[in-house]
């Protein structure tokens, strides 16, 4: 996902309520560091890094993202290019899905499979709808790293592409859920893709997030159960993708939003990923 190979998943960053089983095995997949904030995108030196990020800071507070923090747009970088590429693929696949909805006889099996997941979820409302998407996509894809499946460190795939092979890593699950949630009737403003960093192992992981009743729910490929973002511990949100594009998390949590461990300031985060060239 970002530049150096890491495991697409954490040892244990999600804390489920007592008596709730995740029901999903852990997975191994390939990701990498956030290239959008490497030296190629931001000049070396803490002051220049800070200035580059501040150029993207919003003039006024925007909607608080999952984990109770605001985020500012990325202007350049690998993660932004990857999202733009997969957006084009998603648009092409949406045309296929639209033709299937219109009754075309040329409807691929994977399109019918995806629409079946969406329609089963759309028959419900609220958290039940979100839960159905999480479960349906989790069951439709087998965990496999991009390196094992495609021979590359990182490849972002649109939902039908992923369902064609039936395999994918964490961002493939998350992208499929992102698209399915919107297709099932959720307002796009209530759906997100989030990249997290495990503060214990240093590994990165992608999840989808959906808002219901004012709460952000995390959809993880390793768990059939949903969990609110407040139940996520030992993890730091790095990037979020919303209807406006790719953003980097910025600043402290909103007052009263005790979501995750404190987000270090930009100077402290340098050691985490700004200068990690390995």
Q: Of 277, 264, 275, 278, give the one whose Cα is nearest residue 197.
A: 264
Q: For the packed helices 78-101 and 109-122, what is the interaxial angle rounded to 10 degrees?
A: 90
- Tell the burial category of 165 from Cβ atoms under 10 Å away from its Cβ (0-12, 13-18, 19+): middle
How many distinct structural domains can be found in the chain?
Answer: 1
**CB atoms < 10 A from the CB of 64, how many?**
15
Phi-psi region of 94 (alpha: psi -120 to 50; beta: other; left: phi over 0): alpha
Q: For residue 36, what pLDDT is reported?
A: 34
Q: For residue 64, what pLDDT is reported?
A: 78
pLDDT for 140-184, tens place per residue?
A: 999 999 999 999 999 999 999 999 999 999 999 999 999 999 999
Phi-psi region of 236 (alpha: psi -120 to 50; beta: other; left: phi over 0): beta
pLDDT for 210-252, tens place per residue?
A: 999 999 999 999 888 999 999 998 889 999 999 999 999 986 6
Question: What does the alpha-carbon distance between residue 79 and residue 51 come to, in Å, rounded to a whole number?
Answer: 20
For the chain, count helices (H), then strands (E).
Answer: 8, 11
Q: For the packed helices 109-122 and 170-183, what is the interaxial angle rounded to 10 degrees?
A: 60
Q: Do 185 and 129 form a contact (C-beta atoms < 8 A)?
A: yes
Question: What does the alpha-carbon distance between residue 240 and residue 216 come to, in Å, rounded to a whole number?
Answer: 13
pLDDT for 67-102, tens place per residue?
A: 998 899 999 999 999 999 999 999 999 999 999 999
Percent of the chain with pLDDT over 70: 68
Mean per-residue pLDDT of the chain: 76
Is the pLDDT at 57 greater than 70, yes or no? no
Partner residues linked to 193 by β-bridges: 208, 241
Strand ranges (DSSP E) for the chain? 6-7, 30-31, 70-73, 142-143, 167-168, 191-198, 204-212, 215-219, 227-228, 235-242, 245-250
Tokens of 124: 């419900």
Q: Of 4, 39, 25, give the one whose Cα is nearest residue 204.
A: 4
Considering the domain boundaries, does residue 185 fall inside one? yes
Chain-centroid distance, C-alpha 248: 12
Considering the domain boundaries, does residue 1 fall inside one? no
The string over 192-214, giving b where at least 16 C-beta atoms fall within 10 Å of a residue's C-beta and e elsewhere, is bbbbbbbbeeebbbbbbbbbbee
Question: What does the alpha-carbon distance between residue 278 and residue 260 come to, in Å, rounded to a whole number?
Answer: 27
Is the pLDDT at 40 greater than 80, yes or no? no
Considering the domain boundaries, does residue 118 fall inside one? yes
Q: For residue 34, what pLDDT is reported?
A: 35
Question: What does the alpha-carbon distance between residue 164 and residue 145 come to, in Å, rounded to a whole number?
Answer: 16
pLDDT for 18-30, tens place per residue?
A: 333 333 322 222 2
Record the pTM.
0.75
Q: How confident is the model at residue 259 (pLDDT cuts 50, 70, 90)?
A: very low
Domain that holds residue 64: 6-274
CATH of the domain at 188: 3.10.620.30
Q: For residue 210, what pLDDT is reported?
A: 98
């Amino acid at each position: 996902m970002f530049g150096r190979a890491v495991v697409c998943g954490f040892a244990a960053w999600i804390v489920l309520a007592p008596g709730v089983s995740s029901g999903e095995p852990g997975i191994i997949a390939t990701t990498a560091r956030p290239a959008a904030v490497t030296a190629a995108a931001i000049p070396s030196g803490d002051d220049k890094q800070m200035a580059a990020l501040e150029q993207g800071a919003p003039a006024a507070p925007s909607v608080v993202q999952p984990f109770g923090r605001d985020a500012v747009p990325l202007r350049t970088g690998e993660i932004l290019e990857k999202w733009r590429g997969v957006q084009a693929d998603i648009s092409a696949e949406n045309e296929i899905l639209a033709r299937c909805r219109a009754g075309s006889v040329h409807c691929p099996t994977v399109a019918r499979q995806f629409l079946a997941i969406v329609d089963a979820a759309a028959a419900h409302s609220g958290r039940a709808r979100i839960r159905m998407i999480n479960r349906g996509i989790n069951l439709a894809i087998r965990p496999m790293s991009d390196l094992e499946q495609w021979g590359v460190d990182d490849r972002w795939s649109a939902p039908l592409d992923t369902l064609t092979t039936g395999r994918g890593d964490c961002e493939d699950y998350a992208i499929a859920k992102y698209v399915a949630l919107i297709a099932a009737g959720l307002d796009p403003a209530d759906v997100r893709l989030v990249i997290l960093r495990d503060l214990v192992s240093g590994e990165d992981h992608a999840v989808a997030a959906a808002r219901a009743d004012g709460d952000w729910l995390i959809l993880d490929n390793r768990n059939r159960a949903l969990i609110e973002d407040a139940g996520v511990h030992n993890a730091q949100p790095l990037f979020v993708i919303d209807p406006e594009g790719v953003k980097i998390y910025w600043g402290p949590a909103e007052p009263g939003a005790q979501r995750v461990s404190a987000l270090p300031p930009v100077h402290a985060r340098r050691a985490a990923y700004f200068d990690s060239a390995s």
